[in-house]
C-alpha cells in the first residue's frame, strides 16, 4: 500500500506523519527508495554546478566583452539562476538527510522561490529581446549613444510585469495549464524575434559597402551576440515544451491514480531535467572566450588610430 493510500482521516485523533508535497497536490512517499535517493544526489550536484556556472557568467560578462546595455539585462537574467537552483538543493537535502532539516513554512517558501524564479528567467527574455531590437534599429548610433534610460525602462517594465504575473499565478487568476502555455508562447515569440533580427543584421553585413565604421562594428556585434542568445532561448523553448508534456502526464495519468510512486517518478524527472537545463543555461556565456564578442576597447583603439591618422594627414596637408 502506498504512503498516500495509508494516510488516515485528517479529522481523526490518530497522529500521522505529514507527507511532503512538491506542488502537484499529491504527496511524495515518505520513505526514499534507492533510485530516488540517487536522483536527489544527482539533482543536488547538478544544481551546485549550475550555481557555480551562473556566478562565473555574472563575473565574466563585462563592458570590454559586450555592450553595457546587454550586460544590464544579462545580469538580471543570470542573477535569477541561483534562486532557481539553491532552493532545490535545500529541498532535496531535506528529503535525504535524517530528521527534519527545515520547517514546513520554509519548505513552502523554497518551493515558491524556485517556481517564481523559473517564471522570471523566461519572462526576462523579453527584456533581452527588446535590448537586441534596440541595438538593431539604432545600429548607426548604438555604439556611441548608450540608451541607458530606454534599457532601464525596458528592464524595469519587464520586472514589474513579472511581479504582476507571479501574483496572478499565486492567486489562481492564471491556472497552471495556462501558465505553462503562456511561458512557452513567450519563448517561441522571442525565438522568432531573434531569428528575424539575426536575418536583418546578416543582410546589413552583406550590404555594408556604403556603411560607416561604427554601423559595421555594431552590426558585427549584433550578429555575434545572437549566437549565445539563440542557444539560450532554444534551450528554454525545449524546456517549456517538455514541462507542458510532463504537466499533461501528471494531470492525465498521475493525479487520477492518486499514486505517490508515480508522482515521485514524474517529480524526479522534472527536477533532474530542470537542474540539467539550468546547468546548460550558463554554458553559452560561461564557456565563451573573452575575445569572442567585439570589445569596446577595440572600438576605442580604432577611434584613436583614426584620430592620429587624420591629424597626421592634416599636418602633411599644411606643409604642401
Interval 44-94: pLDDT, tens:
999 999 999 999 888 887 655 577 778 888 888 899 999 999 999 999 988
pLDDT at res. 236 = 92
171's grid cell: 492567486
- Please give the C-alpha separations between residue 81 and each of 18, 49, 157, in angstroms, as whole numbers: 30, 11, 20
> Among 222, 250, 80, 30, which Cα is nearest to 137's?
222
Q: How far apart are CA 37 and CA 274, in angstroms?
A: 17
Q: How far apart are CA 37 and CA 87, in angstroms?
A: 18
> Among 280, 311, 317, 266, which Cα is nearest to 49's?
280
Averaged confidence pLDDT in the chain: 76
Give all strands (DSSP E) within 186-263, no chain letters. Answer: none
Question: Quick check: 120 pLDDT over 50?
Answer: yes
Domain 34-290 has CATH 1.10.3720.10: no
pLDDT at res. 188 = 92
- Please give the C-alpha separations between residue 28 and each of 87, 100, 238, in angstroms, as whole numbers: 18, 15, 27
pLDDT at res. 16 = 37
pLDDT at res. 1 = 33
Q: Work out the percent of the chain whose per-residue pLDDT is above 70.
A: 72
Q: How far apart are CA 232 and CA 119, in angstroms?
A: 15
Q: How far apart are CA 33 and CA 76, in angstroms?
A: 38
pLDDT at res. 28 = 55
The full set of domain ranges for the chain reads 34-290
Give the distance from CA 103 to its chain's centroid. Answer: 28
214's grid cell: 561604427
Question: Quick check: 150 pLDDT over 90?
Answer: no
Among the ranges given (10-14, 184-188, 210-214), the one the predictor scored with the smallest mean pLDDT: 10-14
Amino acid at each position: 500500500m502506498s504512503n498516500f493510500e495509508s494516510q488516515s482521516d485528517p479529522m481523526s485523533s490518530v497522529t500521522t506523519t505529514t507527507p511532503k508535497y512538491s506542488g502537484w497536490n499529491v504527496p511524495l512517499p515518505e520513505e526514499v527508495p534507492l533510485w530516488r535517493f540517487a536522483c536527489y544526489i544527482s539533482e543536488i550536484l547538478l544544481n551546485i554546478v549550475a550555481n557555480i556556472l551562473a556566478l562565473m557568467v555574472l563575473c565574466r560578462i563585462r563592458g570590454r566583452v559586450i555592450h553595457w546595455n546587454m550586460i544590464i539585462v544579462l545580469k538580471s537574467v543570470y542573477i535569477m539562476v541561483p534562486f532557481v537552483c539553491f532552493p532545490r538543493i535545500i529541498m532535496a537535502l531535506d528529503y535525504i538527510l535524517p530528521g527534519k532539516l527545515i520547517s514546513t513554512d520554509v519548505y513552502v517558501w523554497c518551493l515558491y522561490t524556485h517556481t517564481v524564479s523559473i517564471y522570471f528567467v523566461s519572462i526576462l527574455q523579453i527584456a533581452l529581446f527588446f535590448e537586441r531590437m534596440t541595438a538593431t534599429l539604432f545600429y548607426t548610433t548604438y555604439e556611441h549613444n548608450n540608451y541607458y534610460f530606454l534599457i532601464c525602462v525596458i528592464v524595469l517594465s519587464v520586472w514589474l510585469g513579472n511581479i504582476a504575473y507571479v501574483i496572478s499565478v499565486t492567486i489562481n487568476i492564471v491556472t497552471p495549464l495556462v501558465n505553462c502555455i503562456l511561458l512557452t508562447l513567450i519563448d517561441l515569440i522571442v525565438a522568432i524575434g531573434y531569428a528575424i533580427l539575426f536575418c536583418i543584421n546578416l543582410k546589413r553585413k552583406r550590404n555594408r559597402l556604403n556603411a560607416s565604421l561604427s554601423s559595421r562594428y555594431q552590426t558585427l556585434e549584433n550578429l555575434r551576440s545572437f549566437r549565445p542568445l539563440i542557444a539560450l532561448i532554444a534551450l528554454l523553448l525545449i524546456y517549456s515544451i517538455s514541462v507542458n508534456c510532463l504537466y499533461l502526464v501528471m494531470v492525465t495519468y498521475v493525479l487520477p491514480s492518486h499514486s505517490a510512486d508515480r508522482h515521485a517518478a514524474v517529480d524526479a524527472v522534472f527536477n533532474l531535467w530542470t537542474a540539467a537545463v539550468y546547468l546548460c543555461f550558463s554554458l553559452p556565456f560561461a564557456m565563451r572566450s573573452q575575445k569572442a564578442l567585439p570589445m569596446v576597447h577595440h572600438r576605442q583603439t580604432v577611434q584613436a588610430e583614426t584620430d592620429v591618422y587624420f591629424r597626421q594627414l592634416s599636418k602633411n596637408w599644411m606643409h604642401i
